[in-house]
């Protein structure tokens, strides 16, 4: 009788010991599933943020480009400080608008300093939610959305009565 019982229990290491190996795949599965969820949440959040900033950039650019030409005074006094500021605040974004003359043809900016037109002769008007010299650095470090638009600006100089080629840049970041 005793011999029969020992044959039945061969390989049996107790109720807990028998189930123990199955714990590893179960734990691995749970960890994998929740890690994936956490990763997906992070990616979706990041993409939503990017899309939000892009949407805001489009909205800001609609406001600035509605006429096709730039009235510097109006841009500085009304559009930038009131309309754009209110819109940007409602979308929780920061922005900077740059207008440059390109009377002999449009040239691309290769660096952030060039883009923001610091110490650039072609810079006509620049305004935004942030002030100071570090604005270019701040924007460039925040994965900005940059949109360019052609506009008519005073040519051959800022104060000319005749209009020539110009480029408007809207930089938006959060």
Partner 1 sequence: MRKGQAAIFDGITFLLLATFSATLIFTAVGTYGEQEDEVMRSSYVINYMQTVSKAFYHVDAQQLAGVCGEGGDKCEEIEVYADLAGKCVELEQYLPGISLSDLLKKDLADPGSPVLDDSYGGIEALGKTATRCAAKEFMKPFTSAGYDYVIEIVQPSSVALIGDAETGESAVIKTSTPIISNLPENAKENDYIEEKDGFVETSVCFNALNAGEKVFSVASPFKVTSKNSNGKIIENQLVLRVCMWPSRQQISSTLLRS
Binding site for partner 1 (CB under 8 A): 11, 18-19, 21-26, 28-30, 32-33, 36-37, 39-40, 43-44, 47-48, 50-51, 54-55, 58, 61-62, 65, 67-69, 102-106, 108, 147-152, 155-156, 161-165
Q: Is 79 left (phi over 0), alpha (psi -120 to 50) or beta?
A: alpha
Q: What count of residues does the chain have?
A: 174
47 or 89: CB nearest partner 1: 47
Q: What is the DSSP letter of 143?
A: -
Distance, CA of 166 to CA of 124 (rounded, Å): 9
Tell me the closest approach of the beta carbon of residue 138 to partner 1, in angstroms.
23
Tell me the closest approach of the beta carbon of residue 15 to partner 1, in angstroms.
9
Tell me the closest approach of the beta carbon of residue 85 to partner 1, in angstroms.
21
Q: What are the tokens at 130?
A: 């942030």
Residue 67 backbone dihedrals phi, psi, to 5 degrees: -105, -25
């Amino acid at each position: 009788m005793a011999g029969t019982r020992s044959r039945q229990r061969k390989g049996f290491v107790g109720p807990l010991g028998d189930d123990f190996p199955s714990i590893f795949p179960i734990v691995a599965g749970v960890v994998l599933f929740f890690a994936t969820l956490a990763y997906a949440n992070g990616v979706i959040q990041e993409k939503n943020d990017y899309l939000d900033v892009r949407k805001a950039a489009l909205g800001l650019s609609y406001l600035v480009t509605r006429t096709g030409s730039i009235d510097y005074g109006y841009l500085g006094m009304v559009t930038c400080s009131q309309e754009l500021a209110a819109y940007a605040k409602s979308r929780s974004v920061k922005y900077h608008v740059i207008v440059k003359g390109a009377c002999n043809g449009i040239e691309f900016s290769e660096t952030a300093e060039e883009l923001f037109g610091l110490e650039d002769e072609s810079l006509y008007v620049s305004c935004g939610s942030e002030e100071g010299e570090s604005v270019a650095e701040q924007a460039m470090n925040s994965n900005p959305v940059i949109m360019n638009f052609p506009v008519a600006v005073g040519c051959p100089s800022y104060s000319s009565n005749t209009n020539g080629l110009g480029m408007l840049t809207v930089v938006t970041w959060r």
